[in-house]
A and B are shown apart, each in its own frame.
Chain A
Amino acid sequence: MNFAIHITGFVAIYIFMLAAFAGWVIIGGVPAILHTPLMSGSNFVHGIVVVGGMFALLNAATVQEQIIGFIAVLLGAGNAAGGYAVTRRMLAMFQTSAHVAKHPHHTRARRPRAS
């Protein structure tokens, strides 16, 4: 059996079109209060590029390809890991009055750190 995926022109355009609609609709419903975590979260999602970098690096057959592939994985991994870390941190901070009232000592507010 052969499970290799082959995507031809029109199929690609259909995928792109439907994905674009999905992105538009999903994000269209996000309240403005979440715009920063959302941007950071979508930033994280395009970190999937690291998988493409893995493909390029593992198939590298020259030193030049190895170097560029290494950079691709390095940057892609940074995109994914960093995007995830900051998005988690931001989202963990959002809480309601009810939550604050119930857990006054559990407030997730953190001291500002030196930048």
Chain B
Amino acid sequence: MTSIAQLTVGLTDLVAAFLFMYGLKRMSSPVTAPSGIFVAGIGMLVAVLASFLYVFDVGAAARPFLITNIALAIVALVLGGGIAWWAGKRVAMTAMPQMVALYNGMGGGAAGAIAAVELFGTKSPETTPLVVTLLGALIGAVSLSGSLIAWAKLQGVIKNPLRFRGQRAFNMLVLFATLVVGGVIVAIAQGAGVAFLSTTEFIYLFFACALVFGILMTLPIGGADMPVVISIYNAATGLAVGLEGFVLENPALMIAGMVVGAAGTLLTLLMAKAMNRSVENVLFSNFGTVSKRKGGRIKGSLKPTEAGDAGIFMHYAKSVIVVPGYGLAAAQAQQKLYEFVKLLLAAGVSVKFAIHPVAGRMPGQMDVLLAEAGVPYDLIFQLDDINEEFKTTDVALVIGANDVVNPAARTEKSSPIFGMPILNADQAKQVYVVKRGEGKGYAGIQNALFYADNCNMVYGDAAAVLTKMIEAVRGLGVKAAA
């Protein structure tokens, strides 16, 4: 029975690993992507069902617990899976970044918990698996607590980045302490006698240090850097899962974990590149606390205009490019935006959406929000594909975006965002900026675009502004019909 169970588990894991890779491959195009996740889902389902066959292969010590363990497993699967499924089905699209952070933290926590069972369970293991287990435990625990902090920040539970003097040195100290405790655990396993704490206590200390490090590392990072942070923790959890897969001698975990680790790393580098910053800079520089820029140096003035006038102007334009940013998500105005855009399209205006790689709070968040509103994805263009078109466009409509259209990134060497590729919205003949107030962007710097001669400000909540624009344009139609 044992070998049949082993053969079945081995084969299903092989099938699962194949389906994951194939599913991810299919996710590289919007056309095949829905079937891609479905394929990967089948892989997950068979792997989980087959994992019950482990009951035929348990050690002698675990036999008396088997019935209880099976019951616990079913309860855990139904409870964990059920709640997460329910939450995932009903969460608002605008809250997606924190949801992904949360699920990711759960994966890291699971990897850490598996490592803990291994550490507590085996009394004198070999050094290599022990070191790998500890490494997976460290990465998993950091990913868990770090993701929870990221969730709290995105959810608005933690409002401001926490920063203090010598923070970086302190964080490094905590990491160093974690590694030392890990080293002690390895030394004990090799027979070294350490008097003042038991092995169990050292293991608890190790996890405590790792969890604290994850919290400390994430606290100082600002909201707009979250795309990079979520991406890093995604890669980290993948890596932790892969390492625990090695310890459990499960190639499916190894492959799935490492594929995600590599994918997350690549995505992280892409995000950092889009901001023209290194990953290290995102994690460790206190960006956002940069001293307030001398505002007086910018020529021109802010020219507020009425939402209705702006709407009518766009109705008579030939071409409009919409630049959405986090403000659109915050105002949940994506449906209103598409409603307005549909009116423009019906009037024969050419409308396109221009998406900056780091707009929003996770990579590609704007694309998802627009898709949710029903915007066809062939109207949505990425930075490199559309940037040349601003020059020949009548109107650029900037909604809730700031730093990603700041011309200072092109011209001003002293600016903290200098060198970041931006959307050339300032090159359009007319620019409308929809913004809640006169505040600065995340980077704390003035935006010369707002003061430019071809730019008008439309103040107000994005949803309210768009409603007025829709009413104004509809009003035109009514008058024409009358």
A residues near B, CB below 8 A? 1-7, 9, 12, 15-16, 19-24, 26-62, 64-66, 68-100, 107-115
With a CB–CB cut-off of 8 A, which chain A residues contact B77? 50, 73, 77
Check B113 against A72 for contact (C-beta < 8 Å): yes
Instruction: Quote the shortest CB–CB distance from A113 to chain B (angstroms).
Output: 5
Check B27 against A54 for contact (C-beta < 8 Å): no
Instruction: Quote the shortest CB–CB distance from A18 to chain B (angstroms).
Output: 8
With a CB–CB cut-off of 8 A, which chain A residues contact B24? 23, 26-27, 38, 41-42, 45
With a CB–CB cut-off of 8 A, which chain B residues contact A90? 93, 96, 368, 371-372
Is the CB of B284 closer than 8 A to any CB of chain A?
no
B residues near A, CB below 8 A? 3, 6-7, 10, 13, 16, 20-21, 23-25, 27-30, 33-34, 36-38, 40-41, 44, 47-48, 51-52, 54-55, 58-59, 61-62, 65-66, 68-70, 72-73, 75-77, 79-85, 87-96, 99-100, 102-104, 106-107, 109-111, 113-114, 116-118, 120-121, 128, 230-231, 234, 237-238, 241-242, 244-246, 248-267, 270, 332, 334-335, 338, 355, 357, 362-365, 367-368, 371-374, 376-380, 382
Partner among B44, B100, B259, B378 whose Cβ is within 8 Å of the Cβ of A23:
B259
Check B371 against A93 for contact (C-beta < 8 Å): yes
With a CB–CB cut-off of 8 A, which chain B residues contact A70? 72-73, 75-76
Instruction: Quote the shortest CB–CB distance from A103 to chain B (angstroms).
Output: 11
Residue of B nearest to A51 (CB): B51
Bound-state CA distance A7–B85 (Å) is: 34
Bound-state CA distance A94–B32 (Å) is: 11
With a CB–CB cut-off of 8 A, which chain B residues contact A33? 30, 355, 364, 367, 377, 380, 382
With a CB–CB cut-off of 8 A, which chain A residues contact B365? 36
Bound-state CA distance A65–B40 (Å) is: 30
Bound-state CA distance A37–B104 (Å) is: 14
With a CB–CB cut-off of 8 A, which chain B residues contact A20? 258-259, 261-262
With a CB–CB cut-off of 8 A, which chain A residues contact B255? 15, 19
Check B51 against A45 for contact (C-beta < 8 Å): no
Check B33 against A49 for contact (C-beta < 8 Å): no
Given contacts A22-B259, A78-B84, contact A68 B117 (CB under 8 A): yes
With a CB–CB cut-off of 8 A, which chain B residues contact A38? 24, 27, 263, 267, 364
Bound-state CA distance A72–B54 (Å) is: 16
With a CB–CB cut-off of 8 A, which chain A residues contact B13? 51
With a CB–CB cut-off of 8 A, which chain A residues contact B96? 36, 40, 86, 90
With a CB–CB cut-off of 8 A, which chain B residues contact A94? 30, 33-34, 371, 377
